[in-house]
Chain A
């Protein structure tokens, strides 16, 4: 399985990323996106930190094992679409 690294962009600029040095093995990019959304949802349920005052300003910048960006997942994507049916 490929390994994906879930770096967290918390502010613009070269220093605004928290690097994930370990990564997760996941079947494919869809699974990586699901993982990112689950992680974002968990984080947004916790108190903000010194680094992050507003979770919705954050995004996951997902990289593959070659350090190439493969997907960006804004934390805001966890907010359900208001037009979607309630589950």
Chain B
């Protein structure tokens, strides 16, 4: 398969690269379809490839003492495997798996690191991206401590909405429960809160966004900090 052209990629990091920096990565990028629940990063195993999502998104999951809770979300704004590879740790304690299937551009970690070593502008952009990931993790910690599950669901739907085409998110209550670290009845109540206020429409297995501004209001500051920092650091706006 021919390597992807920068004008055709959807990943927001790849789109921000200079032509020269993109050319460093281009010969190594390989388009790979992803499947629901496919593992991209296995905990405590060497990260030999990193992945730029093009379509769909990936969950970062803490799987500790029988509790599985989502601690991060990566879509077309990001790079799966960025921190262990760029920060030279080689592996990570977290499981990263496909939550919304689509496509990623995969690249061997070795080739990616060689390109980062060669170009200071590429390295700078990637470090800025890591800062946005750190902010996302801190916002998640803050949100989980400060807010009830309906606020957390509002934030999470907004984050998913940013990473899909259109207004529909494919998701079960079972999965929402996992994402929010509550039981399924908690997910059912949180969905009811947002649906009762006509912010979303929930059908079996999917949620449709009806009122984005309303959801941002419910999210009450838990959403938006990370996104504003991404815009500032990566997209210069």
Contact = CB atoms under 8 A, between A and B. Distances in A.
Interface of A: 6-8, 10, 15, 18-22, 24, 39-40, 42-43, 46-52, 60
B150 A49 contact: yes
7 contacts: A8-B189, A18-B191, A18-B192, A39-B185, A48-B148, A49-B149, A49-B193
A64 B72 CA distance: 36
B224 interface: no
B213 to A, nearest CB: 17
Contact of B188 (A19, A40, A42, A46): A19
A10 B186 CA distance: 12
Interface string B188-207: 11111100100000111000
A15 B193 CA distance: 11
B16 interface: no
Contacts of A60: 185
A9 to B, nearest CB: 11
Contacts of A7: 188
B173 A49 contact: no
Contacts, number: 68
A46 B149 CA distance: 9
B204 A39 contact: no
Interface string B127-161: 00000000000000000000011100000000000
B184 interface: yes
Contacts of B183: 39, 42-43
A19 B191 CA distance: 9
Interface in B169-194: 172-174, 182-186, 188-193
A22 B171 CA distance: 12
Nearest to B185: A39
A54 to B, nearest CB: 13
A51 B186 contact: no
Given A21-B173, A22-B172, A22-B204, A51 B185 contact: no
A46 B189 CA distance: 12
B196 A15 contact: yes
Interface in B201-233: 202-204, 218
Which 7 pairs across A and B sit closest by C-beta, in order of nearness? A18-B192, A39-B185, A21-B204, A51-B193, A49-B148, A49-B150, A42-B183
A21 B207 CA distance: 12
Contact of A50 (B172, B174, B193): B193
A18 B189 contact: yes
